[in-house]
């Protein structure tokens, strides 16, 4: 085992090698002095009022004043719309021809349906000229529609691993070190074995994950691949193996009884009932810290057995029929693509940008860590995500069928816990039937 300064030096070297490898070729985007002067004049001259719908008012109240320092004559009128109501409100506005924002957000669960509405600008074309090579590789499919057009940028990347209770890991596994846990849990078979041991040692009071929904989410994400071709949906190839593992976990009793994102599920984080929880960068603030207020220092982050996945995510797009596209694009660029804007969102909100140039220019910020790190025993969460999790995340192009599959899952999975007669095979058949009901024009196999 590497100790002291040698270990620290090697970690920093690996970080540098990793970041250099994936971001080589980004090049310098720093303009010449005349170009800076020309851009400054252009930002002063650009005058417009743009509409933005967003569900995060704190973000808006922070970023709009920063944006106006660069674009003083662009007025941003915002409306706070809850994510669960967003797509319906948007579709109503389009149908009535009345209220449609210039900047449109796409929550991951309904993003495919949004993309298939065919109302978003292709950001690869002139005058936007955004190149897929500028984005992290796995992000591109998540921002592409069924025509393979790049129609969004990422608000914050959402690579995911497992947050774990250090106290429980120490008690039941003998270690709370993420490196040792990776070795201890290299795959899901090992995870199940340790889960059964934990169940026996705890008398059934401690499980590995809160419920079957959590297990399905990570396993489906790890198996990401293209399974939709036009109106052909190959659900069997996409879900058969993940479901088999989910039901094996359920039947061995290593999963809790909670449904995801319910009050009981959230409260369980402070109770010590489950060792692991799905964890993306945004989870530190919005889930772990907010639900386990006294838990500073007792959490850690480890890569999930079997590989990486994503959890959550929001796309930012430009409305094709906007009358103020240049101004709306200026807002999107500033907040999500420029070094100035992404630095602010990284430092104030922990948002990890999807554009490669950020990592080329801000390695010092990554080494410095985030305000959430102390909650995780001083573990540098951003570095861990970038080094351990991002490299093998897989992406999937988004269509309305992905949205349908997501909605069917939410309807069906509570029954997987309550009804022990449902097995992986019957669950898959019911899944296919429900997708077919919601997409009668499709061939589902």
**CATH classification of the domain holding 87:** 3.40.190.10
User: Is the CB of residue 54 less than 8 Å from the CB of residue 90?
Assistant: no
Please tell me whether residues 286 and 346 are part of one structural domain: no
Q: Which domain holds residue 270?
A: 160-311+401-444
- pLDDT 10s digits, 363-389: 999 999 888 899 999 999 999 999 999
User: Is the model more confident about 360 or about 246?
Assistant: 246
pLDDT computed for residue 372 by the predictor: 86
- 395 in a domain, yes or no? no
Please tell me whether residues 297 and 421 are part of one structural domain: yes
Judged against a pLDDT cut of 70, whether residue 225 lies above it is answered with yes
User: Is the CB of residue 292 less than 8 Å from the CB of residue 270?
Assistant: yes
- 88 in a domain, yes or no? yes
- 134 in a domain, yes or no? yes
Looking at the chain, the number of H-run helices and the number of E-run strands are 21, 12
Judged against a pLDDT cut of 90, whether residue 27 lies above it is answered with no
Residues in the chain: 445
3-state secondary structure 42-73: HHHHCCEEEEEEECCHHHHHHHHHHHHHHCCC
Please tell me whether residues 236 and 270 are part of one structural domain: yes
Q: Which two tokens stand for residue 387?
A: 């080094």
What is the arithmetic mean of pLDDT over 146-158?
94
Please tell me whether residues 186 and 203 are part of one structural domain: yes
> What percentage of the chain has pLDDT greater than the value 90?
80
Query: Among 19-33, 148-162, 252-266, which stretch is predicted with the lowest mean pLDDT?
Result: 19-33
- 144 in a domain, yes or no? yes
The reported pTM is 0.86
Please tell me whether residues 53 and 202 are part of one structural domain: no
- 340 in a domain, yes or no? yes
Please tell me whether residues 317 and 307 are part of one structural domain: no
- 287 in a domain, yes or no? yes
Query: Among 52-56, 221-225, 232-236, 321-325, which stretch is predicted with the lowest mean pLDDT?
Result: 221-225
Q: What is the C-alpha separation between 17 and 11, in angstroms, rounded?
A: 10
Using CB atoms within 10 Å of the CB of residue 310, give its burial: 0 to 12 exposed, 13 to 18 middle, 19+ buried. buried
- 56 in a domain, yes or no? yes
- 373 in a domain, yes or no? no
> What percentage of the chain has pLDDT greater than the value 70?
91
Q: Which of 303, 329, 361 is the C-terminal boundary of a domain?
A: 361
Q: What is the C-alpha separation between 423 and 302, in angstroms, rounded?
A: 29
Please tell me whether residues 212 and 286 are part of one structural domain: yes
pLDDT computed for residue 396 by the predictor: 86
Judged against a pLDDT cut of 60, whether residue 214 lies above it is answered with yes
Q: Which two tokens stand for residue 64?
A: 């709009």
- pLDDT 10s digits, 102-120: 999 999 888 999 999 999 9
User: Is the CB of residue 33 less than 8 Å from the CB of residue 60?
Assistant: no
pLDDT computed for residue 350 by the predictor: 83
Judged against a pLDDT cut of 90, whether residue 124 lies above it is answered with yes
Judged against a pLDDT cut of 90, whether residue 37 lies above it is answered with no
Q: Is the dihedral of CA 39, 40, 41, 47 positive or negative?
A: positive
């Amino acid at each position: 085992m590497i100790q002291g300064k040698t270990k620290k030096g090697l970690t920093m070297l690996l970080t540098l090698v990793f970041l250099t490898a994936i971001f080589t070729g980004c090049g310098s985007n720093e303009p010449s002095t005349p170009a800076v002067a020309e851009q400054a004049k252009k930002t002063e001259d650009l005058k417009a009022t743009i509409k933005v719908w967003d569900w995060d008012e704190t973000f808006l109240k922070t970023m709009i004043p920063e944006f106006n320092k660069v674009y003083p004559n662009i007025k941003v009128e915002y409306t706070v719309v809850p994510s669960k109501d967003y797509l319906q409100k948007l579709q109503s506005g389009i149908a009535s021809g009345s209220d449609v924002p210039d900047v449109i957000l796409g929550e991951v669960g309904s993003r495919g349906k949004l993309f298939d509405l065919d109302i978003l600008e292709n950001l690869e074309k002139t005058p936007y000229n955004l190149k897929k090579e500028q984005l992290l590789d796995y992000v591109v499919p998540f921002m592409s529609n069924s025509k393979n057009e790049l129609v969004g940028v990422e608000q914050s990347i959402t690579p995911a691993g497992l947050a774990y209770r250090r106290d429980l890991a120490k008690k039941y596994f003998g270690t709370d070190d993420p490196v040792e846990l990776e070795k201890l849990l290299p795959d899901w078979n090992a995870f199940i074995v340790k889960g059964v041991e934990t169940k026996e040692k705890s008398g059934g009071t401690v499980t590995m994950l809160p419920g079957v929904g959590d297990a399905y989410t990570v396993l489906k994400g790890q198996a990401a691949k293209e399974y939709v071709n036009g109106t052909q949906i190959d659900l069997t190839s996409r879900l058969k193996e993940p479901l088999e593992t989910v039901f094996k976990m359920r039947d061995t009793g290593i999963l809790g009884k909670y449904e995801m994102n319910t009050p009981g599920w959230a409260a369980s984080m402070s109770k010590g009932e489950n060792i692991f929880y799905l964890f993306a960068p945004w989870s530190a603030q919005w889930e772990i810290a907010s639900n386990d207020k006294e838990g500073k220092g007792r959490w850690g982050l480890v890569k999930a057995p079997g590989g990486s996945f994503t959890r959550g995510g929001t796309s930012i797009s430009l409305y094709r029929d906007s009358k103020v596209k240049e101004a709306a694009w200026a807002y999107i660029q500033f907040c999500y693509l420029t070094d100035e804007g992404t630095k602010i969102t990284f430092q104030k909100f922990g948002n990890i940008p999807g554009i490669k140039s950020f990592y080329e220019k801000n390695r010092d910020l990554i080494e410095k860590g985030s305000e959430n790190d102390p909650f995780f025993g001083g573990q540098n969460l951003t570095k861990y995500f970038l080094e351990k999790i991002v490299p093998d995340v897989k992406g999937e192009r988004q269509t309305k069928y992905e949205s349908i599959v997501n909605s069917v899952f939410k309807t069906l999975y509570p029954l997987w816990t309550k009804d022990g007669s449902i097995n992986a095979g019957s669950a898959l058949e019911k899944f296919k039937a429900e997708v077919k009901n919601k997409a009668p024009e499709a061939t589902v196999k």
